[in-house]
Amino acid sequence: MSLAQERCLATVDPISVEALPSLLDQLNGWVVEEGKLVKLHRFANYYETLAFVNALAWIAHREDHHPEMYVTYNSCKVEFATHSVDGLSRNDFICAAKVDALDFPA
């Protein structure tokens, strides 16, 4: 089963450093920065940016796993991390894969 087909779990363990490369290989353009899973999405205009933010908000609500988002006129920086493990969990990668599955430019 692909990450995008999985559902977030209420209780998770932190991801080990050894597991990071194989999980990142399943994503499109995400990087780990300061203990967070991060990707900058660029758009042609504000309307496209907000459409993306709303689609991502629906995913976050459905999975009960919410990212930090930094929104500008034509971009949205998305940062996933799991506060309960003070770092990254499988839930972060599941949500990132679901964001990748949206039909938006990166």
**How does DSSP classify residue 15?**
P
Total Cβ atoms within 10 A of residue 92: 25
Q: What is the pLDDT of residue 105?
A: 64
pTM: 0.94
Report the alpha-carbon distance of residue 104 to residue 106 in Å, rounded: 6
Q: What is the pLDDT of residue 106?
A: 56
Rg (CA), the chain: 13
Residues of the chain with pLDDT under 50: none
Q: What is the pLDDT of residue 48?
A: 95
Name all domains of the chain by residue range, CATH numbers in brackets.
14-101 (3.30.1360.20)
Report the alpha-carbon distance of residue 57 to residue 62 in Å, rounded: 9
